[in-house]
Each structure stands twice: as C-alpha cells, then as structure tokens.
Structure 1
Amino acid sequence: MDTYDRIGVGYARGRRTDPRWQAVIEDALGGARSVLNIGAGTGSYEPAGRTVLAVEPSAEMLRQRPGDAAPAVRAVAERLPVRDGAAEAALAVLTVHHWNDWRRGLAELRRVAPVRVVLAYDTRMHADYWFVREYVPEIAERELGRPAAADIAEVLGAQRVVPLPVPWDFTDGVFPAYWRRPAAYLDPGVRRNCSALAQADPQAVRRGLGRLRADLADGRWRDRHRDLLGQAEFDAGFRLLISRN
C-alpha cells in the first residue's frame, strides 16, 4: 500500500494551492507547454493553460483529484511510464522525500524533460522547527533521514535555488504552515494532512499536544514566540530547485 493510501484521506481539503507559491512555480516552468507532474497528489500546483500529465502512485490521492484536473496515471517516480523527452518540463512538488529511491527518481526527471522544477525543503530546518524542538522531538529523526533540498539540488544539477517563505496565512497545510497559528495543530484534520505528524509515533504526538495545549492556555507559547507574531512570513526551509539542459 502506498503511504498516502493510508494517510491521505481528506487530503484535498487541507492541502490547497496557495496562489503565492503557485505564481513562483509557474514562473519557474517558463514557456514549457507540456508538463509531467510527478507525485501529483490531488492536483495542487498543477499549472493552468498547459498540457499536463499527472503521475501519482496512491489510489486514494487519485480518487480525490477534481473532475477538471489533468489526466493522471498511477505510477512511481522511479519508473515513469513515458518515453525520453516526453514533456518540456517535469514538476515535482514536495514529493521527493517520499520516494523509495530518490536518486533514481531524479534521474527519471532528467530523462523525460529538459526542464525540471522540484520543490523540496531543508530537513535540518524542519527538524529544528519549534513544534518539533519543543513538543514532538521524535519527528526530528525521520526528517533528518530524508533527502535535503541541498542534496536534491546537487543530484538534479539545479542552476537556480529559490527560497519559498511561508506566509502567516498560508492556505496549503504543509507541516510548518501554522508557524504563527499554533492552535491549528490541535485539530486532528490538520495533523492528518501533515505527513510529518501523520507518520509520527501517536503516543509522542499526544504527549506533545498536551504540552502545547497547556502552553497555549497559560500564555507560555506566546511568551516564547512573541517575535513570530510580528512576522508576515517565515523561512521554514522550502526551496524551489530549477534545472535546465
């Protein structure tokens, strides 16, 4: 069973395209008229006005794609079912860290398209995110075992690395999306849509949430993170990697 067949129920409700990230991704794709969207999930960040083929291994995620989404095939990044140079660009948004063999998957991206646009993240920054550091430190080990943006950039041969900060009112429920809205982590629906939490030890998460709930109630979280409350955006380590032949 694919991971997201298990944890992806309701994913489309919590992981919605944020137009600010969408604009940067569209710009990175440039004039590419045909795009392979690898690890496409429910269709977030798929570009409009281009010919798109989505590739996704999870039946649950495919089931949640809207009726007007791009056509999709069920396959994995490591074995893309298309010919060499099948598209002008390949897109992979927050998916490489889930691949069984990420180096082989990146080689496939290079095979199928002359332009590669990959959204990844700095795993060390995620491991040091306040929620992990203060409430569920057990998450850090899994995060540090995933490929980091810098590693992916090197293997991909990225010529450009664009930081993507997370606005305070971000609409896409990625794990650090709620850096200024900590009470959101108490919502089971929010946690289900963050793979870092959905895959963490449930007992560790429950313990951490108990501490967070108490810190929110007595104001300790606010006292510790007063500096965050005045920020409009936060660098959680997300990086858009752009590689061209």
Structure 2
Amino acid sequence: METYDKIGFNYNKTRNADPRIASIIEKSLHLNENNLKLLDVGAGTGNYSKFFYSKGYDVTALEPSEVMIAQALENNNIKWIKGTAEHIDIQNNSFDGVFSVLASHHFNNLQLAISEINRTLKSKHFAVIFTADPSVVSKKSWLYDYFKIVFEKAISNYINIENFRSLIESTANTHVEIIDYPLPDNLVDNFFASGWKNPSLYLDQNFISGISPLVSLETNTLNQIQKKLENDLKNGTWNSKFGRILEENYFDGGYRFLVWQKP
C-alpha cells in the first residue's frame, strides 16, 4: 500500500500550492510560451498541477496513491495517470518540462525514477525536483530539539543533496544546479518545516495530518513530543530558549531545488 493511501485522507486541508515555490519551478523550467506539456511526478492531490494549468500549461499528473487522486481538485483539463516515478507509462520525449514537489523521498528506486523522468523529457528541456536534505538543518534549531527522532529517521531515508546531484548527473549525463530555498514564515504549503516560526501549529491535528513523517510516528511518541512542546510554550521555556527565531524572516529547513537540462 502506498504511504498516502494510509495517511493522505486530509491532505488538501493544509497542503496548497505555494505560489513562490511554483514560480521558482516555472522559472527553472525556462517555459516561454503557453500550451507546453508538463508532467507533475508524485502529484499528490494535484495542487501544483492546478497552479500550472491555471498558467496556461497542458498538465499531466502522475500519482501512485488512489486516496490522493480521489481528493484531486475537480479539473477535467488535467490528465491523471495512476503510476509510480519508476515506471512512467508515457512515450519518450513527451514533455516540455517535468517537475516533482516533495515527492522524491517516497520513490522506491531513485536512480530509476530519474531515468524515467529524463526519458519522458524532450531534449534541451528542463526538469526540476523540489526536495529536502534534513542533514543540513541546524541541530540547535527548536525543530531539531523537539523532533530529533523525526530528523534522525529522515536523515537515514533522504539522500544527501550533493549525492542527489551526483546521482542525477551520472544518470542523466548532464549538469545539475542546486538552488537553496530558505523558508519564509507564511507558506501556504504546510510541509514539515513550514511552521518554523509558529510552533503551536505542531499541536494542530489538521497541520500534522498532512505531513508524512509526523503522521508516521507512533502515536505515543508524537503525543509525548506535543505534550512537551505545549508545556514549554505555556511556561515560557520555549520562548526563553528559542524565542529569538521570531525575529527572523527565513529559516534554512534544508529545502532545495535540483534543476537540470536534458542533453
């Protein structure tokens, strides 16, 4: 069973396409006209697919989870394909651009997925993967302090960003650019570190329900973390130790764009 077949039932409540993230993807794809064909790999409920359709692109959404597809926003102009990144049932050289948003850590075979993405992409066109490298997040941050178990698990599951670049370069035989993305404090796509400036969000079940590493925690473990966080917010411990972050405008949560052009 796909991960989001188990945990993705409330995904649309908190996971909306953030226009700043989408705009970086659009710019990195070097799209210079409408009606170009785009592929969204690991599309989830199609929030980013919908964004690009609204900009005038012809979008195909690839997603393995039936639960996620069933929640897809009604849009007859987006073509849905149930399938995995490792086996994309589409002809070679079909798309003017391919993108994937926070899905690559769910791929079962990253090298095969990159090969498939590259196969479906037209020559001289671009692909973009928005991903995260939890190993670069400061161990002094409050998120790491409270959610250390999440980071430790994620570090073992996510590929280091430099190794990810090397994998793409060797698989696609091309140069890969890494674009850092420090997180603003008002993201509308509520992925794991998006609440870096609002710790009370991590006590909200709606927020938690759209974040796979939190939903995947054992209930007792998550409850213990939330209880400690709630108590520390009430008694001033959190503010005393970490309140300085409230003066910051951005946070490095390890999020990065990987961009390459197919030869």
> In structure 2, what is the Cα distance between the partners aligned to 1:99 and 1:128?
27
Letter in 2 for 1:44: N
Find the counterpart in structure 1 of residue 172 from structure 2: none
How far 1:126 moved relative to its partner? 5.0
Distance 1:201 1:168, change over 3 A: same
Which of 77, 84, 90 in structure 1 is aligned with 2:92?
84
> In structure 1, what is the Cα distance between the partners aligned to 2:92 and 2:5?
29
RMSD of the TM alignment (CA)? Answer: 1.7
> In structure 2, what is the Cα distance between the partners aligned to 1:50 and 1:135?
41
Query: After the TM superposition, which of the residue ranges 102-111 and 132-141 deviates more from structure 2?
Result: 132-141
SS in 2 for 1:213: helix
Distance 1:136 1:162, change over 3 A: closer
Which of 32, 38, 45 in structure 2 is aligned with 1:42?
45
What per-residue deviation string (whole Å, max 9, x for no partner) do you get for residues 174-204 of structure 1? 0001101000100111111111101122221
The share of aligned pairs that are identical, in percent, is: 26
Find the counterpart in structure 1 of residue 30 from structure 2: 30
Find the counterpart in structure 2 of residue 70 from structure 1: 78
Query: After the TM superposition, which of the residue ranges 71-80 and 128-137 deviates more from structure 2?
Result: 128-137
**Structure 1 regions of 5+ residues with no counterpart?**
none
Letter in 2 for 1:111: R
Q: Does the CA-based 8 Å contact 1:124-1:144 persist in structure 2?
A: yes
Q: Does 1:156 align with 2:168?
A: yes
**Structure 2 regions of 5+ residues with no counterpart?**
170-174
Q: Does 1:140 align with 2:147?
A: no
Query: After the TM superposition, which of the residue ranges 95-104 and 63-72 deviates more from structure 2?
Result: 63-72
TM-score w.r.t. the length of structure 2 is 0.88
Find the counterpart in structure 1 of residue 106 from structure 2: 98
> In structure 1, what is the Cα distance between the partners aligned to 2:253 and 2:147?
17
> In structure 2, what is the Cα distance between the partners aligned to 1:89 and 1:11?
25
Runs of 4 or more consecutive aligned structure 1 residues displaced over 6 Å after TM superposition: none
How far 1:151 moved relative to its partner? 2.2
> In structure 2, what is the Cα distance between the partners aligned to 1:160 and 1:88?
18
What per-residue deviation string (whole Å, max 9, x for no partner) do you get for residues 217-243 of structure 1? 011111111221111221111111110
TM-score w.r.t. the length of structure 1 is 0.94
Distance 1:109 1:129, change over 3 A: farther
Aligned residues: 245
